[in-house]
Structure 1
Amino acid sequence: MSKKHSNIKTEYIRYFIALSLFFVFGCSNTKYLPDGELLYTGGSVTVKDSIIKKKARKELETELEGLLRPKPNKQFLGLRPKLWIYNIAGVPKKDKGIRYWLRNKVGEPPVLFSKVDLDYNASVLRNFTENRGYFKTRVSADSTVNNKRVTAEYTVVPKKQYIIKSVTFPDDSLAMSRLIARSSRRSLLKVGKPYDLDIIKSERERIDARLKEKGYYYFNPDYILAQVDSSKGDHEVKIRLVIKADTPAKALTSYKINKIIVYPNFVISKDSVKYKPEDVVQYKDFTIIDTADTFKPRVFDRAIYFKKGDLYNRKDHNLTLNRFVNLGTFSFVKNEFKLSDSLPNTLDSYYYLTLLPKKFIRVEVLGKTNSASYTGTEVNVNWNNRNLFRGAELLTVSVFGGADFQLSGDNNGKNIYKLGTETSLTWPRFIVPFFHVDGSSEFVPRTKATLRYEYQNRTQLYALNSFKTSFGYQWKENIRKEHQLNIIDVTYVSPNHVTEEYLADIDEDASLGKVIEKQLIFGPTYTYTYTNTMQKRKKNTFYFSGDLDLAGNITGLVSGANVKEGNQKNIFDVPFSQYVKMRGDFRHYLKLGKESELASRIIVGVGIPYGNSSALPTSKQFVVGGTNSIRAFRARSLGPGSYLNVATTNNYLPDQSGDLKLEFSTEYRAKLFSIVRGALFIDAGNVWLLNADPDKPGGEITKDFMKEIAVGAGAGLRFDLSFLILRTDLAFPLRKPYLPEGERWVIKDIDFGSGPWRKDNLILNIAIGYPF
């Protein structure tokens, strides 16, 4: 058979499959309907108005369609596979088994037109539209039947939208009325804006929040009445806010804090706390009833924002609860305010705290794979003590071990084993007096000290001993801004058991020698993070992380170290590293629809070695490629610049790294069905050396660095399993910077039907979580 006839036959098969799917998923769904029933396939809303602008009209139609009930059966590519599964499964004889699971867990029963109330939906649409200021709106409903399928059509004819002519606030003699009037400039009700019932509700909540900050603990938004007068003017309303006449007296009173009582050993299952007189500790303004002497009293002084005599306010109320939660020692935190018996217009504050287990062990077992064809596992055993010195300190002692194997390929037998331990101690405060954190922060500042040792053995090659210690601070200004400052951060790496085979490889490629060089890195590091991605309603959200790493700077300046002049200094016979390294990671998320978004990221990194160093340490250099970087290239195998490591005869590739990094990615994400989401992406970037390296020609950055940008593209699936997201990405290169100029774009070479092309270019990435 000729190739032409083969292609025609393939096309016929595709059309046959497509038509078969259409009839199987489509026509077969209606034949299972009960007698006299019709399948409801959805509703549409048309807004007929010549005044409303087209864009605003379409937005209103979308909002109104979202109110229609019931929702039709879910569709995928115009078909209803879940309904089809429900139908073909049939009626199960038992409440278990595959048929029961298919019908009730995977499938979806038909949405019948008999369940659709056209009049009810019409009234919902009318109420919603009038609440937006389109008074006296007319709504009509109709339906269309086609082959046992029914659609509902609603026509909304609004009148001219009313706007706000004036807003009046309470003007009586109550103290709270004066507070409300003083906050009027922050009002959400603006003269000239459209009338909107939801905004009126939000304004009442704004006023309530304002009063809660001024001691009015028992007030609530329902005590505010919005009187709307639309009788005068041309489609205008006057809004008058008043305090309801039947508002309880205690809601009109502001309160101060009297007693503050803390129960650190509260048991939820018991209604009351039994204690002895000696269990009661009076500390400053607090009464602490700690039956087991669990905590030092200063823990509560740092957590509770209220002091005796303070005016109640909800901000301090919530900050205190958040601080107790963020201490990490309590599983349950309850707060209660009661009217005081001893002083008028005061509240007694009670805190009931239920402890988490003080000591616990957590075991983690991980499976992993990477694009270098290594597959492995890692085990971590963590022992924790949540309250080591009775100050809510957290001590963690970890022991970990792992192994990576290449079961086939060039590195078969050169397995990687690692074993190590780490101890960290975290204090829920700054333990030096000159640090200060804004007292309004709901997050507990922390001081953390860490000591870590790791032994890594690459069989037949070399082994590395790594020691690391750090001491620093972590704090949040608010939910968006976070800081981490390590004033001490020391890393020491020492090799041993270097084999003759690896030494022979170094003779061929001198850059391999850097991997086994002794390293001593010390100096402060700082990281700042800002994000507002938790604001799900925003169309545009951002994430930024900036790192600053200063190594050996003061020591280098004091000692006069200068490697370029042959004056390299050592500490314990090891040259210390001296450099400045900065890295910025900026991400933008554009919400395109309810289940789709465009995510973009740009990373810029600069490392400048000087003084005692001619290059950044290998562990501190930048790399690209891999599952969370440029996915069309294998991990750590791209760059620097146009350099390509092809000169060596050893059977593995070293890490290809640089002092400078530029990387950009953009990814379209959308929900496909159920737990499955899809993505289309483009990645670009590279790394460069700041200084020329004769062993890596083309690696130094020049004015033409943009010509050395690598570009890759691909598609992926994400499986949202609620407790984790499993990601698979299939990528291929569009531009290879190591090819000769004029030949770097390889789009014309793409051939998915070619086995050799797929083997050389297609990269499958499997990972946990999103790449950014």
Structure 2
Amino acid sequence: MNTPFPLKGIAAKIGIFLLIALLSSCNALKRVGEDELLLTKNTIFVDGEKVLDEDIKSLIVQEPNTRVLGYPLRLNLYNLAKKDPDSTFQAWLGKKPGREEKLANFLSQKQVDALGESFLVKGYSEWLKKIGEAPVVIDTSRARKTLQRLNSYYGSKGYFNNSTTFEIVEEKRKQRAALDFLVTLGKPYFIDSLSQNIASPAIDSLYLLNRENSFIQEKKQFDLSDFNQERQRLTELFRNSGVYNFQESSITYDILRDTTETRDDQQMNVELKIENLRKRSDTAITTSEYRVFSFDKINIYADYEFGDESDSMQSTEFENYTIYYKDKLRYKPKALTDAIFFEKDSLYRDIDRLRTYRQITNLNTFKYPNIQILEDSTQSKLISNIYLTARKKYSLGLNLDITHSNIQRLGIGFSSSLITRNIFGGAETLSLSARGTFGLLSDTNLPEDFFSEVGADINLSFPRIWFPLLNTKRIIPTFMLPKTSISAGTSFQKNIGLDKQTLNTILSYGWVPNNFQRNTLELLNILYVRNVNSDRFFNVYTSTYRTLDNIADNYEDEPALAGAFDFSNDPEDPNLIIPGGTSDFIDAVLNGTIATATDDFIDVSRIEERRDRLTENNLIFSSNYTFTKNNKVGINDNSFYQFRVNLESAGNLLSGLSYIFPFNQNENGNLQVFGVSYSQYVKTEFDFIKHWDLNRSNVLAFRSFFGVAVPYGNSESVPFVRSYFAGGSNDNRAWFPYSLGPGSSSDINDFNEANLKLAFNLEYRFPIVGNIKGALFADAGNIWNVWDNVDDPAKTFSGFDSLADIALGTGFGLRYDFTYFVFRVDTGFKTYNPAEVQSKRWFRDYNFSNAVIQIGINYPF
């Protein structure tokens, strides 16, 4: 969603000024007692060095009041609340004589008291307290708790003899002070020797085979986190080596050390102890040796419902699996067994259990499965029962949207989808969807202001890589969640632009090696775009028309242009008639029928070049591959990176076929398929995102993007649908979408696009009040033409000198977090505008009257 519009007037300036004045007048000490000190800052010093590590700083129990850009907003909001709201109500009663008596005429005293309880001021005060923050005054007991945490933390790093204290550092300002926490480490302890005492022979053998990977090493400084990681490593090792019932609590360590200050021996002996399996019964706790288990039997219960018994179900054997079903097996056995990673006579592995859960869920045919493991202790064998409960075969979805934007005065959209699961018995999913949007345009030069867009799609997905004559399981194993999708879709527009009709067909593959990587390969992506009303180009691209009309004003008296102008509105300043007059004028200029200035000839040539490209029909046969990698752990991880690379190639398949089959050619020598010149280009994109969690929900986010599409062979330019644009709510927010660039060009078209793009974004995000967040941002970037048929130097990337055309937009934003999505409003200011002359590029339009508001959903990156 993107709805930009400029701020005008000085009302916003006055409002912000009054808000700042109001908040500045608040007294931060209003709720601080005379014998109390307002906490302003915490600092940790270790052996005299200031600690910057956020993990260590998080150990501090008492934090100062939160600040928004250095200002204690929540504290002052809290201080604005009335300390005694009931007294405010009494003051209101006594402010005007007879007010209390009038209330008493129709209210009882009890009702009057109740009115005071619910009085607006009281409710307002409670709301201020709720969104505000009480003053944080120094509490020495909480400071001592911080010392205990610091002592324990550095003790866990081997500094067992560390000492801690704190100091209260009063500031020059009244009743304000900072806390300094001072830590003296002392000498660290090291692991001198490492031994083991393992009760179960099977566990002992597994440990000895994998001991070299231990996190605990001799001569290494003691670190408690190493012991925790080693305990986790051993648990995973044993559970993935057949010991399905291994308990992490069986692992303990005996550590012998001398922490007396009189001895200068910082060595310690560590003994790893792994006890036997402990089992609790109703009467006693028994122990037994751990053993390695393998699978004896694997049962799959298809279409299982709670309470079903295997005796009442039919069964069939398939590749050492037993499949139970009712009446008729609705699934191909291989589709079920491919999702199971347990195999007969194989060792139990926890990772196989996890992969089974993931793959069954990925089928989108069953609900979350139930996997039961039964033990035959006499033979060290396991029986696995896998219960699969089917989802509904059919799902129907309906959506209705009402939209409004700078293009649509009013739009009503609907979409519906029908999902059919297990359509061929192999857990395939067929999806049929239809969509439509109807409404009124905000501003148009077209005869009608009614628009419509309808479309339909069909998608068939398989839970495997489908490729004839190739065993893809060896290349992409099932645990990578392989998926094949075959889709086709079409759409029809009326009174939107040039009224495009599109047809799209895609054969794609996807696989996920792990939680942090994703691969998508579109082996074939066919897109056909037909412009139904190409004659409406100058009705739609009004900026281009005005440029052409201004040039034509110099030649309105030419005899060759008789009939090209409309004199009815203004005989002194006639306009070119669309489309006949515009075509006649362009032809007359380019054919030399009329003599024109050189600059006018160049400008008209460029306009015609742009018109040809934007009105031509497109046929794109492409293949592309996308690789995405990130290290984000959970939705609350605010320190992560994400990298995405995309490679695309178009036209090579058709170019190869042209050597076998004769293709028609147009007047320019371009090869055509079904009467349309096919596009040929290569395209690559690199996108990198990095987030830093600063502290207390303050996040610094950075994004960089580079993309280039190079036409060659059968094309001199990249199709409009594959080109780049700049500006908008997710790009450079100081410019409208499509309004920035290319390069330093100042003749702004309606939709500016090019085939090279650079973008850099930096955003500082911080909490304000409750679910309201704030942001400061800087967006830099631009688009250029390169290696195509555009010859305008202002729009072309010619080397490092063109980097001076990178635009800079800065601004601020507000967000409201609805948990499931974030509503975002950003205000951008043109800080450096390359479209201006050199001397006026910086801060030329840096004011609220020229600011741009961008509205979006979720964070831009």
Does residue 733 of the first structure (1) align with residue 769 of the second (2)?
no
Larger of the two Rg values belongs to structure? 2
Q: CA deviation at 1:719?
A: 1.8
The residue aligned with 2:59 is: 66
The residue aligned with 1:592 is: 694
In structure 1, stretches of 5+ residues that fail to align are 1-8, 32-37, 647-652, 753-757
Rounded to whole Å, the distance in 1 between the matches of 2:84 and 2:459 is 55
Residues 454, 218 of structure 1: alpha-carbon distance in 2 compared, 3 angstrom cutoff: same
Rounded to whole Å, the distance in 2 between the matches of 1:694 and 1:120 is 69
Residues 637, 191 of structure 1: alpha-carbon distance in 2 compared, 3 angstrom cutoff: same
Rounded to whole Å, the distance in 2 between the matches of 1:87 and 1:357 is 57
Rounded to whole Å, the distance in 1 between the matches of 2:513 and 2:66 is 43
What letter corresponds to residue 740 of structure 2 in structure 1? L
What letter corresponds to residue 26 of structure 2 in structure 1? L
Q: Is the 1:45–1:156 contact (alpha carbons within 8 Å) kept by the matching residues of 2?
A: no
Does residue 207 of the first structure (1) align with residue 234 of the second (2)?
yes
What letter corresponds to residue 660 of structure 1 in structure 2? L
Q: Is the 1:483–1:528 contact (alpha carbons within 8 Å) kept by the matching residues of 2?
A: yes
Matches within 5 A, 1:148-547: 159-170=186-197, 174-231=201-258, 234-244=265-275, 250=288, 252-267=290-305, 270=306, 272-275=307-310, 277=312, 279-291=314-326, 293-340=329-376, 344-366=379-401, 376-403=411-438, 405-407=440-442, 414=449, 416-432=451-467, 433-434=469-470, 435-436=472-473, 442-458=479-495, 462-498=498-534, 502=539, 504=579, 509-510=607-608, 511-534=610-633, 541-547=640-646
Rounded to whole Å, the distance in 2 between the matches of 1:214 and 1:97 is 68
What letter corresponds to residue 667 of structure 1 in structure 2? E
Residues 399, 251 of structure 1: alpha-carbon distance in 2 compared, 3 angstrom cutoff: farther
Q: Is the 2:32–2:137 contact (alpha carbons within 8 Å) kept by the matching residues of 1?
A: no
Q: CA deviation at 1:406?
A: 4.7
Q: Is the 1:719–1:726 contact (alpha carbons within 8 Å) kept by the matching residues of 2?
A: yes
Q: Is the 1:41–1:73 contact (alpha carbons within 8 Å) kept by the matching residues of 2?
A: no
- Higher mean Cα deviation, 202-211 or 686-695? 686-695
Does residue 762 of the first structure (1) align with residue 851 of the second (2)?
yes
Q: CA deviation at 1:296?
A: 2.0
Q: CA deviation at 1:254?
A: 1.0
Q: CA deviation at 1:17?
A: 2.6
Q: CA deviation at 1:28?
A: 4.8
Rounded to whole Å, the distance in 1 between the matches of 2:701 and 2:180 is 36
Q: CA deviation at 1:395?
A: 1.1
> What's the CA shift string for 1:551-589, capped at 9, x where partnerless?
221322442689899422211111111222222222223
Residues 353, 401 of structure 1: alpha-carbon distance in 2 compared, 3 angstrom cutoff: same
Q: CA deviation at 1:143?
A: 9.3
Q: Is the 1:132–1:196 contact (alpha carbons within 8 Å) kept by the matching residues of 2?
A: yes
Rounded to whole Å, the distance in 1 between the matches of 2:443 and 2:31 is 49
What letter corresponds to residue 727 of structure 2 in structure 1? G
Rounded to whole Å, the distance in 1 between the matches of 2:639 and 2:715 is 42
Q: Is the 2:26–2:80 contact (alpha carbons within 8 Å) kept by the matching residues of 1?
A: no
Residues 113, 632 of structure 1: alpha-carbon distance in 2 compared, 3 angstrom cutoff: closer
Does residue 656 of the first structure (1) align with residue 752 of the second (2)?
yes
What letter corresponds to residue 222 of structure 2 in structure 1? Y
Rounded to whole Å, the distance in 2 between the matches of 1:746 and 1:422 is 48
> What's the CA shift string for 1:408-458, capped at 9, x where partnerless?
698996564311111111111122242346566644211111110100122
Q: Is the 2:41–2:177 contact (alpha carbons within 8 Å) kept by the matching residues of 1?
A: no
What letter corresponds to residue 595 of structure 1 in structure 2? S
The residue aligned with 1:5 is: none
Q: Is the 1:465–1:493 contact (alpha carbons within 8 Å) kept by the matching residues of 2?
A: yes
* 2:238 aligned counterpart, secondary structure: helix
Q: CA deviation at 1:611?
A: 1.9
Rounded to whole Å, the distance in 2 between the matches of 1:322 and 1:696 is 54
The residue aligned with 1:618 is: 720
* 1:330 aligned counterpart, secondary structure: coil
The residue aligned with 1:716 is: 813
The residue aligned with 1:690 is: 786
Q: CA deviation at 1:344?
A: 0.9
Rounded to whole Å, the distance in 2 between the matches of 1:263 and 1:40 is 67
- Higher mean Cα deviation, 235-244 or 183-192? 183-192
Q: How many residues align structurally?
A: 732
What letter corresponds to residue 525 of structure 1 in structure 2? N
TM-score w.r.t. length of structure 2? 0.75
Q: CA deviation at 1:209?
A: 1.0
* 1:22 aligned counterpart, secondary structure: coil
The residue aligned with 1:671 is: 767
- Higher mean Cα deviation, 596-605 or 191-200? 191-200
Residues 410, 671 of structure 1: alpha-carbon distance in 2 compared, 3 angstrom cutoff: farther
Rounded to whole Å, the distance in 2 between the matches of 1:81 and 1:323 is 53
The residue aligned with 2:99 is: none
- Higher mean Cα deviation, 112-121 or 632-641? 112-121
Q: CA deviation at 1:335?
A: 1.5
Rounded to whole Å, the distance in 1 between the matches of 2:60 and 2:465 is 51
* 1:522 aligned counterpart, secondary structure: strand
- Percentage of identical aligned residues: 23
Residues 225, 301 of structure 1: alpha-carbon distance in 2 compared, 3 angstrom cutoff: same
In structure 2, stretches of 5+ residues that fail to align are 1-13, 87-112, 280-286, 540-577, 587-603
Rounded to whole Å, the distance in 2 between the matches of 1:478 and 1:375 is 44
Q: CA deviation at 1:386?
A: 2.3
Residues 67, 441 of structure 1: alpha-carbon distance in 2 compared, 3 angstrom cutoff: farther
Rounded to whole Å, the distance in 1 between the matches of 2:202 and 2:310 is 42
Q: Is the 1:438–1:477 contact (alpha carbons within 8 Å) kept by the matching residues of 2?
A: no
Rounded to whole Å, the distance in 1 between the matches of 2:722 and 2:858 is 24
Q: CA deviation at 1:318?
A: 1.1
- Higher mean Cα deviation, 249-258 or 275-284? 275-284
Rounded to whole Å, the distance in 2 between the matches of 1:765 and 1:347 is 60
Rounded to whole Å, the distance in 2 between the matches of 1:28 and 1:526 is 61
What letter corresponds to residue 530 of structure 1 in structure 2? K
What letter corresponds to residue 66 of structure 1 in structure 2? L
Does residue 601 of the first structure (1) align with residue 601 of the second (2)?
no
Rounded to whole Å, the distance in 2 between the matches of 1:458 and 1:310 is 64
